[in-house]
Amino acid sequence: MAFDIEMIKAVYDRMPARIAAARALTGKPLTLTEKILYSHLWEGTPSTTFTRGGSYVDFAPDRVAMQDATAQMALLQFMQAGRPQVAVPSTVHCDHLIEAKVASTTDLKVAVDKNKEVYDFLSSVSDKYGIGFWKPGAGIIHQVVLENYAFPGGMMIGTDSHTVNAGGLGMIAIGVGGADACDVMAGLAWELKFPKLIGVKLTGKLNGWTSAKDVILKVAGILTVKGGTGCVVEYFGEGATSMSCTGKGTICNMGAEIGATTSTFGYDDSMARYLESTGRADVAALANGIREHLTADYEVYANPEAYFDQVIEIDLDALEPHVNGPFTPDLATPISKLKELAIKNNWPTKVEVGLIGSCTNSSYEDIARAASLAKQVAAKGLKTKAQFTITPGSEQVRYTIERDGFISTFDSIGATVFSNACGPCIGQWARPGAEKGEKNTIVHSFNRNFAKRADGNPNTYAFVASPEIVTALAIAGDLTFNPLTDTLTNEKGEQVKLEAPTGDELPKLGFAVEDAGYQAPAEDGSGVQVKVALTSDRLQLLAPFSAWEGTDLKGLKLLIKAKGKCTTDHISMAGPWLKYRGHLDNISNNMLIGAVNFFNEKTDNVKNQLTGVYGAVPDTQRAYKAAGIGTIVVGDTNYGEGSSREHAAMEPRHLGVRAVLVKSFARIHETNLKKQGMLALTFVNEADYDKILEDDNINILGLNDFAPEKSLTIELTHADGSTDSFPVNHTYNAQQIEWFKAGGALNIIRASIK
């Protein structure tokens, strides 16, 4: 039986009536997205309609999922909420803190020893508050959720931007910061601006070398990294129904790379097959009983332009495999054009490492198709030219692919199998020689390829592709190799051509596993002691942030004016810093160290206006804090793109930054700033970015009348005594303004239980 089956039954029992009410209120057929959103309103049965991209709406998600890096701060916050147990089914997954270095068994043992106090904390806090705990080695959160918890028509939030992966099973699953998760676990409503809708019609059928990954790589090229901001992407058409469930998950997973709130697919036979194969035939039976409510109304897909804000059509019969990058996941190149562009742009063409797996592409089908290519290495007398690694998504997948011979196939080509964890995808890769900073190329089936992300080397050119294309390029060792048309020279000097990959959607013998790695919480956690040592440098209990002082903010200094792309990796790096995710003061020493200073084009080098000396960003900010001086951070477009990590908002808050002013925000980061009591502001006129100078004194005026849709004013006093002022916008609603005044949303929760 599936986890939380009674909860799923309750969701399905109320869906038909709520959808009917929403259809009557709106007076039109409904998309799948609208059906799920309207059936998960905090108020229950819908009583009003909402404006896409305009209305803030309170929702009641069905469940919460957290990975170990973000769960630490989420649960440290939840501990302050004063609740005896989580209000909705919740889980913690230990996947981020395992470094890939040698091989799976060795790396896992090292991680368990090195991270013992963090794992003990997460295990004990889960035990106390009724949270399911997935131990180190159990797998990557999103794969484990897809295998165990995701269900069609459900609504979930998770403290990781790739929570959206569960859209492959027809959910509305959304990445959030830990403060949002804390709200829902505490039994409160979760707020989201009602999204706009993008429809993607898939015609034809995937074939040959083309896979589901190529669909989202193509979409990323169309929409760019910010084209999906504020939107849900809903896929439909014959191409969608002909695709595997895990293929759908891959597409939804990388929806995070276009800034989408989430992505989803309507319920179909592939989802039923996957549910049954993963031991959830009971969920499939329930879903089959309300099938019409788990996809859009017929009229929507028949005439999509009338129901979506934007419609994209992709013919899968004509779709080419794509390779995206380097340095950004939206630079999309069809495989037939890759050689030309690589030579034109002077990209390193020797492929040093090919890496497959991660939460994006670690399904049985993905591994099977890659293995079919690996088998051809010996059969055709070839040798693999690049290093090759596999990161299984879960212990269930790993155990099954070992049983079915795929791991031995990979062993035969010299591959390394890393632990069932995030590993290189999030910078947890102890890559030999990366510290030399040499220019080189890697190809991987992960989701993000920002500079320094995988191995810490800013000169590593990382390209994103399907597991099949990654495997082929690793075999060839050449970025310019096109496996659809080109041949390779084998050990006998013969020209041989790789045959198109093949692989079963699901294991013929079914999935198998000896120990999936799940630990159920105590039935009564009231006596459980949460383990946090006061002397720890890994964990730190939180103290409340101060409330707003009730005045305009004057005499602020400019901490940094960031130039160009500034993702959450730039604001709060992962990699070796992951060990401090539960210690706010220690991890704050990585604040904005990756951001490029507009005034000198250096990273981690800003001017301290108190001394005139240039130094590290965190050190400079700590000097301002010690002097009782607030600061402001200025940024470019899509500021905070990437991960959901709320540390990127909590660190500046902790160190005394008062406001972040940018041309535009990524959705999750803007919300995280608001939750922590920060001011998240945007330029009315983007050209005003240029008015901000390095030695400015800055005032933020109008806060005594802070109100929704009412601009604030920035007043600059330059070093020469001249002044500038200009209006700035914000998206705060009345509730969010109260968060600011209280010093953070958690302060309001805490006050409500006194």
Residues identified as active-site: 95-96, 160, 448, 643, 645
First to last CA, the chain: 40
Q: Report the alpha-carbon distance of residue 350 to residue 474 in Å, rounded.
A: 10
Per-residue exposure over 85-119, b if at least 16 CB sit within 10 Å of its own CB, e if not: ebebbbbbbbbbbbbbbeebeebbebbbeebebbb
Burial of 734 (C-beta count, 10 Å sphere; 0-12/13-18/19+)? exposed
Q: Which H or E run includes 607? A: strand 606-607
Q: Report the alpha-carbon distance of residue 726 to residue 684 in Å, rounded.
A: 8
CA atoms within 13 A on the CB side of 526: 1
Q: Please give the radius of gyration of the chain, using alpha carbons only, rounded to the nearest integer.
A: 25
DSSP for 538-569? SB----PPPPP-SS-EEEEEEEEEB-S--BHH
Is 228 within 8 Å of 338 (Cβ atoms)? no
Judged by DSSP in three states, 30 sits in coil
DSSP for 456-519? S-TTEEEEE--HHHHHHHHHHTBTT--TTT--EE-TTS-EE-PPPP---SS-TT----S---EE
Residue 725: both structure tokens together: 């002022």
Q: Which stretches does DSSP call E strand in 182-318?
A: 190-193, 196-203, 231-236, 262-265, 310-315
Quote the DSSP letter at residue 195: P
Long-range contacts of 4-7 (CB under 8 A, 24+ apart): 4/63, 4/89, 4/149, 5/282, 5/283, 7/62, 7/63, 7/89
Q: Report the alpha-carbon distance of residue 264 to residue 232 in Å, rounded.
A: 8
Q: What CA–CA distances, in Å, run from 380 to 385, 386, 414, 467?
A: 14, 17, 16, 20
Amino acid at 28: K
Q: Report the alpha-carbon distance of residue 14 to residue 45 in Å, rounded.
A: 9
Is 230 within 8 Å of 193 (Cβ atoms)? yes
Antiparallel, parallel or unpaired: β 723-729 and 712-717: antiparallel
Amino acid at 253: N
Q: Report the alpha-carbon distance of residue 357 to residue 466 in Å, rounded.
A: 10
Residue 423: both structure tokens together: 């590993």
The dihedral sign for the CA sequence 349, 352, 356, 359: negative
Q: Which residue bears the tokens 């951001």? A: 595
Cα torsion 623, 564, 649, 560 to 10°: value is 20
